[in-house]
């Protein structure tokens, strides 16, 4: 029999990477919040790769931290190896990646939720949500407890209608052998939420003792000063190794001989899989000319012998998985601890969401993470943070917090989802941002910490330290533009040895720093007045000087984009009544209901001429 349990301001369904950030942000903004997890041991779980960050994903983590989120701090506390990717390229694509102790990460996040004021943590499966006559949301658990909330965040990950596939075997399940959320989908369909099926997968986990590391390539971590969180004081310490291995012709042969037993190719799996993270059998089919495929053998933690085979996701039968793994050099005697699987799940068409991540037609209901059609822990955390912030702001009666594309990768991610939609699980990449020279991971705090402070997610102490950093950067920029470096034999030799032209007369230090061949470290012997400053201050000054012209041009593009972004479109516009709009544009604008002319201009099927018509309409009507 149903019973009334408790009333909240915000309820978060799911405690994965999206749910964690949503719940913490909401509670930290002072509203009474509850977060539900089917199993409390699944909080912050990493059912796929035990790592945080990577190309563009490292940017997202640093942006989450700059706004006051938790993922960066948790990653720094539980990392066992870090590497800075793309060091050979420009700073726009430098990305931090950390191997994580997955059990320690989960433990850290569970405790963070438990300690948070204004937040209750509950193990319960939500089986039904509906709107009450008073405009609140009513949530019912499997045990028939009824909760009410003013706002709800759906952060169900891959649990919603979860179904596991391993060869000919399939069964309802969440990731990692957890219970699925089997009944909630039907409740969401009754709300006319446009659900669809996506699919993802994960590789086998194997026992360390069964791997011959002597024939594998060792991959050590980097010595780096960079951490994910701007509050982390000590640089990360490398405590473990990863290894690189390769498949061969025999591996390929086993796959091709058993392809008909893969549910991906037998037609059993209906869900659409991730384009940029395919299963191993999919790689074999897509790239038949490749003689071998590289993959990574990564530790799952310091206190476990489980190893993760990054890049070897599969849904083939268990015995076939074992057979193809044993064809690989170093894995001839491999012992599989957890079998690889594919998981199919329900998610929403993100075109049904506003840029605030609230549903267009369901006031007070928000979506975040894989529920919104994205893939990846980092993408989930970013959306969770924004959904949690906006749910709390809605409870308070305040305007939503929306980041535009020029402010952040978070803004790009959400704008892509709610404006363009996605036909397969969306993965963030640096190439998705047209403003990536300005949206670097090194300046995430400069771009976003003022927002976090105004929202109330950044403490006075942290904001004071941030302002001091800005002051140091400006003072150092002023110093290097005023400091003259005089000609000497040692300096001329340095310039020639670094492939840049010698001087004809003394120049300002800033002019030398602008040369791509030179760095602060190279010029240190000729800079007797160099102050004792944190490395990140020198980094900012050097980047701003070296890329000054490019940054100026990109800022001009941003200013033009924001000219359209500030032109708001009222929610009640009847696009069918606007003369001059093409039929396709009317249909797309009516469906997506963009919040600004800028967003409208990015909708597929809306042409520049349609935007001109919209601008004329706004001017004529005074809207």
For 559, phi then psi, to 5°, come to -60, -40
Rounded to whole angstroms, how far apart are CA atoms 476 and 473?
Answer: 5
pLDDT at site 331? 98
pTM of the model: 0.95
Domain 460-550 in the same topology as domain 3-48+104-199+345-455: no
d(CA 585, CA 604): 9
CA–chain centroid gap for 416, Å, is 13
Query: Are 247 and 328 within 8 A, CB to CB?
Result: yes
Q: How far apart are CA 533 and CA 617, in angstroms?
A: 54
Pair of tokens at residue 310 = 């990054």
**Which helix (H) or strand (E) covers residue 92, if one does?**
none
Identify the DSSP state of 326. Answer: T
Structure tokens at 302: 């310091």
How far the first Cα of the chain sits from its last, in Å, is 52
CA distance 406 to 464: 25
Burial label for 103, CB within 10 Å (0-12, 13-18, 19+), is buried
Closest CA to 156 of 356, 368, 350, 421: 368
C-alpha to C-alpha distance for 293 and 314, rounded to whole angstroms? 14
521 contacts 535 by C-beta, under 8 angstroms: no
Question: What pLDDT shows up at residue 101?
Answer: 98
- What residues form DSSP beta bridges with 6? 147
- Partner residues linked to 10 by β-bridges: 33, 151
pLDDT at 133: 85
**Which pLDDT value is given to residue 276?**
66
Q: Of 579, 568, 574, give the one whose Cα is nearest residue 613.
A: 579
Task: State how far the Cα of 306 lies from the Cα of 324, in Å rounded to an integer.
Answer: 19
Beta bridge partners of 596: 568
CA distance 171 to 315: 13
Residue pair 9/392 in contact (Cβ under 8 Å)? The answer is yes
**In terms of DSSP bridges, do strands 79-85 and 195-202 run parallel, antiparallel, or are they unpaired?**
unpaired
Asked if 246 and 311 count as a contact pair (C-beta separation under 8 A), the reply is: no
Domain borders along the chain are 3-48+104-199+345-455, 205-342, 460-550, 566-621
Q: Output the six-digit token pair for 205.
A: 């986990």
| CATH architecture of the region 566-621 | Orthogonal Bundle (1.10)
| Average pLDDT per consecutive 10 residues, the chain (623 residues; last block may be shorter) | 96 98 98 98 95 96 98 98 92 95 98 98 98 93 98 97 95 94 95 95 96 97 92 92 96 94 79 76 88 95 97 95 97 98 96 97 97 97 98 98 96 96 93 93 98 98 98 96 93 93 92 94 91 94 94 90 86 89 91 91 89 88 76
Domain 3-48+104-199+345-455 has CATH 2.60.200.30: no
Is 378 in contact with 52 (CB distance < 8 Å)?
yes
Beta strands in 428-505 (DSSP E): 484-485
Task: Tell me the HSE value of 35 on the side-chain side, using a 13 A CA sphere.
Answer: 34
| CATH architecture entry for 205-342 | Beta Barrel (2.40)
CATH tag, 460-550: 1.10.10.1800
Q: Which is nearest to 418 in space by CA: 375, 358, 482?
A: 358
């Amino acid at each position: 029999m149903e019973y009334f349990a408790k009333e909240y301001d915000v309820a978060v369904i799911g405690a994965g990477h999206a749910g964690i950030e949503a719940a913490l942000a909401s509670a930290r903004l002072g509203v009474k919040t509850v977060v539900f997890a089917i199993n409390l041991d699944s909080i912050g779980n990493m059912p796929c790769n035990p790592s945080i960050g990577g190309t563009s994903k490292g940017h997202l983590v640093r942006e989450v931290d700059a706004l006051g989120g938790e993922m960066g701090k948790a990653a720094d506390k539980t990392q066992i190896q870090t590497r800075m990717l793309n060091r050979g390229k420009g700073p726009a694509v430098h990305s931090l990646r950390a191997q994580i102790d997955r059990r320690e990460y989960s433990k850290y996040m569970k405790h963070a939720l438990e300690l948070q004021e204004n937040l209750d943590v509950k193990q319960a499966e939500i089986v039904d949500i509906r709107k009450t006559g008073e405009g609140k949301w009513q949530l019912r658990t499997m045990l028939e407890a009824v909760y009410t909330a003013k706002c709800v965040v759906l952060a169900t990950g891959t649990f919603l209608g979860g179904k596991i596939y391993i060869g000919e075997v399939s069964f309802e399940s969440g990731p990692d052998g957890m219970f699925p959320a089997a009944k909630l989908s039907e409740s969401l369909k009754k709300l006319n939420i446009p659900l669809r099926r996506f699919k993802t997968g994960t590789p086998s986990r194997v026992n360390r003792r069964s791997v011959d590391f002597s024939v594998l390539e060792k991959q050590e971590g980097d010595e780096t000063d960079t951490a994910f969180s701007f509050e982390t004081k000590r640089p990360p310490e490398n405590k473990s190794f990863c290894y690189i291995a390769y498949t061969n012709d025999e591996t390929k042969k086993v796959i091709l001989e058993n392809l008909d037993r893969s549910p991906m190719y037998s037609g059993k799996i209906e869900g659409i899989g991730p384009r940029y993270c395919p299963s191993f059998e999919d790689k074999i089919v897509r790239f038949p000319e490749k003689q071998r495929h590289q993959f990574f053998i990564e530790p799952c933690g310091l206190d476990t012998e489980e190893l993760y085979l990054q890049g070897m996701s599969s849904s083939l039968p268990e015995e076939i998985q074992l057979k193809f793994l044993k064809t690989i050099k170093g894995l001839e005697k491999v012992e599989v601890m957890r079998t690889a699987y594919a998981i199919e799940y329900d998610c929403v068409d993100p075109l049904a969401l506003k840029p605030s991540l609230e549903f267009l037609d369901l006031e007070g209901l928000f979506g975040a993470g894989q529920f919104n059609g994205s893939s990846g822990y980092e993408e989930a955390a970013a959306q969770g943070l924004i959904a949690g912030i906006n749910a709390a702001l809605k409870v308070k009666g305040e305007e939503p917090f929306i980041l535009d594309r020029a402010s952040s990768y978070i803004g790009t991610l959400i704008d892509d989802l709610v404006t363009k939609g996605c036909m397969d699980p969306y993965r963030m990449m640096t190439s998705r941002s047209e403003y990536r020279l300005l949206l670097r991971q090194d300046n995430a705090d400069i771009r976003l910490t003022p927002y976090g402070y105004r929202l109330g997610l950044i403490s006075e102490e942290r904001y004071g330290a941030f302002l001091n950093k800005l002051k140091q950067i400006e003072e150092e920029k002023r110093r290097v533009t005023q400091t003259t470096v005089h000609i000497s034999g040692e300096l001329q030799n340095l310039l020639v040895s670094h492939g840049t032209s010698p001087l004809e007369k003394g120049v300002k230090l800033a002019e030398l720093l602008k040369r791509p061949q030179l760095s602060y470290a190279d010029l240190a012997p000729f800079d007797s007045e160099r102050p004792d400053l944190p490395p990140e201050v020198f980094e900012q000054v050097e980047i701003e000087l070296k890329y000054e012209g490019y940054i100026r041009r990109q800022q001009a593009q941003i200013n033009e984009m924001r000219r359209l972004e500030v032109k708001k479109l009222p929610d009640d516009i009847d696009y069918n009544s606007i003369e001059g709009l093409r039929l396709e544009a009317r249909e797309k604008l009516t469906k997506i209901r963009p919040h600004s002319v800028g967003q409208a201009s990015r909708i597929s099927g809306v042409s520049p001429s349609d935007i001109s018509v919209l601008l004329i309409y706004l001017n004529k009507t005074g809207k």
